[in-house]
Amino acid sequence: MNGAKERGQRGRRGGQAGFTLVEAVMVIVIVGIIGGIVAVFIRVPVQAYTDLAARAELGDIADTAVRRVGRDVRLALPNSVVASGDGRTMSFLLTKTGGRYQAVEDALAGGTPLDFENAAVLDFNVLGAMPAGQQAIVPGDFIVVYNLGPGYEPANANPAGGAPASLNVAAVAAVAGNVITMAANPFASANPVMSSPTSRFQVVTGTVTYVCDTVNRTLTRFWADRQLAAAGTLPPPGVGALLAENVSACAFNYVQPANTRSGLVEMTLTLQRPGNAEFIKLFHQVHVDNTP
């Protein structure tokens, strides 16, 4: 009798410990309904967060690209910026330093002035302290004097194809103290003489070219070290460094008002990933000092 009673109690306890199939199905259905309702309410915030993150990433890439362009443009040789007619390319000569050359008018007892009459004189003295460190003048650099830019040949350091050769650019052959030795003296060949009114010179290290390729959706910076390329040369010389991908639109514009010593570079850059409606568009302007 007692054994039967214990078996009945164990049977009742075992039956209370589980769920029937109907109960399990009902729980699954209810959880699915609740999950669907929750998904409807959280889909929009999640999508908004995803779009915001995509815009932020594109904005960071675009901002870095235009700031890099702006930094280079501020180091451009005066009157050397050239933008293509379609706005897809922009090139200029990059300077690293400058100085004051000794002129005949200084009437100094010692030193050698930069000679604008005798092409055989290749040496000239730099007045003041010589640039040091990364700005040090080294063989292979270029000395540029009184660059007036397009329309003022031969005082144009980066003439376009067919323009007269530059007579205001000399390659550096050697540097000893404050004396610079040029590989040749083109300044003496210019007619009229194109000396700087303030006896200033700039040191150019090479050519920078920015290319917007909307077919391949890229913005690339090309750099030709110790090489002066003709304005607008395509393909550009040197090594290319990718600045931005997913470029859906891009344009360079260079404005130089008449009778002024300044210019303005305008850049518009739009980034958009394929198949995504989100895009970022930046407009950046950089002032250019064109005092030669």
CA distance 127 to 132: 14
CA distance 269 to 217: 11
Nearest to 284 by CA among 270, 264, 266, 271: 266
**Residue 226: is its pLDDT beyond 60?**
yes
Predicted pLDDT of residue 265: 96
Please count the structural domains in the chain: 1
**Residue 8: is its pLDDT beyond 60?**
no
* Domain-embedded: residue 39: no
Predicted pLDDT of residue 47: 65
Mean model confidence pLDDT for the chain? 87
Domain span at 106: 64-289
Angle at 67 between CA 64 and CA 72, to 5 degrees: 125
Predicted pLDDT of residue 62: 92
pLDDT in tens, 191-222: 888 899 999 999 999 999 999 999 999 999 99
Tokens of 262: 């300044």
Residue 227 pLDDT class (50, 70, 90 cuts): confident
CA distance 59 to 65: 10
Provide mean pLDDT across the span 176-183: 97
Query: Where is pLDDT greater, at 102 or 278?
Result: 102
Provide mean pLDDT across the span 94-114: 94
Q: Give the global pTM.
A: 0.82
Q: Where are the alpha helices (DSSP H) in 17-83?
A: 21-73
Predicted pLDDT of residue 7: 53
Helix (H, G, I), strand (E, B) or coil at 70: helix
The region of weakest confidence among 78-82, 101-105, 118-122, 235-239 is: 235-239
CA distance 159 to 35: 69
* Domain-embedded: residue 256: yes
Cβ neighbors of 23 (< 8 A, separation 6 or more) are none
pLDDT > 90 in the chain, percent: 61
* Domain-embedded: residue 33: no
The region of weakest confidence among 23-27, 61-65, 117-121, 178-182 is: 23-27
Predicted pLDDT of residue 244: 95
Predicted pLDDT of residue 191: 85
* Domain-embedded: residue 56: no
Provide mean pLDDT across the span 117-123: 96
Provide mean pLDDT across the span 138-143: 96
CA distance 182 to 270: 45
pLDDT in tens, 26-52: 878 788 777 777 767 676 676 666 777
* Domain-embedded: residue 18: no
Query: Where is pLDDT greater, at 190 or 258?
Result: 190
CA distance 116 to 118: 6
Provide mean pLDDT across the span 50-56: 75
* Domain-embedded: residue 30: no
Predicted pLDDT of residue 220: 96
* Domain-embedded: residue 22: no
* Domain-embedded: residue 245: yes
